[in-house]
Structure 1
């Protein structure tokens, strides 16, 4: 009886040891399954491949230019390479946002291409807007993430990156000037049969202006626009405070105003 019990105990120990070894083996074999595969490098490589494919079509298909099919084919050359990354996981969240924005810009261009023969004016507007966004993002991919292309496509990429830098610069200027306009709140006082609006404003845009002008939209208590007045400044340096004036011929002082930029010329620094 004792011999049988000893054999059973031995078998149990062997079985337990075998299970332990099996579990260790399984754990070792699946050690990499918990590691996340990020798409950062793969996206940049696919972006380069798609860009070169599109650029090649631009060079080869010049005779087809001027058709919906031509523009759709250009976009598809890139989109077919990068669209898969729209739902991919990236280690760099900023790169992921830029990748998604780039894919969306390509989709916007493709949608614009469909308007080429039916609404050409809208096509130009939508295509250019997406083009500007695309070139801004190419700037980011080149400067921050090391996007490179083969030598035969370098000149075209350089041209797009240069355009993207201009778009970024122009957008920065526009945002700064719109913020400046929003800070202008003229106070109106009556002078004889008209009203004069004055506002003390500091130029905090980071730019020196040779000249700048604003439209001052005047609204009554019912929020009906009753007049548009104008104010301007010349040789207005960054950090400088000036008093801006406008004149209204309305019978009553405006209830609310909205100031929007209408023209500006940034001074050239030597």
Structure 2
């Protein structure tokens, strides 16, 4: 699979979202580039090939898989990314607060890349499909399960009722009964969670449209989706995503997608918010 996202997406985003689908030799090249962008800019294709122990053709092929005509064009893109990259976060000072602060700053530095793989048409279609569907079923399991509950509550508050049940079999049963006027919203960081893939597949078989929110452009979930929004992981690799999973960026984007939905729904959304505030006012006390 080659890069099909926005042409202005930086190399590090392309590497992060395509990494699991790269061939072993390409993966070694991509990992070396991601580990030291500056060194890759200063290296020729042959020098990088010698450094990672692959043939020069593998370096060129990696650049083309990432969406560039060749390695010289990739070097130019790397130089541009370095030039506009934010400053390095402050390192921890050894205290608990210092380590926490450093982690938060590292995360903050990665935020500009969160939307780098999104396209205007993809976001517009995602929001429009959510708005127009007669029924919305949310598929989210494993570490993405909290996203499912959060999405259901936010969509409901926006006047766009959505169903989410934690049980995976219940999700599959509901998915098989959706039909052409319904939507399955599948949420999975890895895009490879088997229960979620099964639910999405069942939804497609019913004739429903599948919307996906995931972190990897080549994930199996993307192949099942009619529209997929890819949010690059804050971690450096697919392995890190599995070991040090974070759904913070997916949560952030999901919240903003609901805001776009609110704007699209206009008066309907305002009426829903009025109802929500009425309920909240009755549940609060001094």
Between Structure 1 and Structure 2, the one with more strand by share is 1
Between Structure 1 and Structure 2, the one with more helix by share is 2
Give TM-score scaled by structure 1 length.
0.26
Larger radius of gyration: 1
Give TM-score scaled by structure 2 length.
0.25
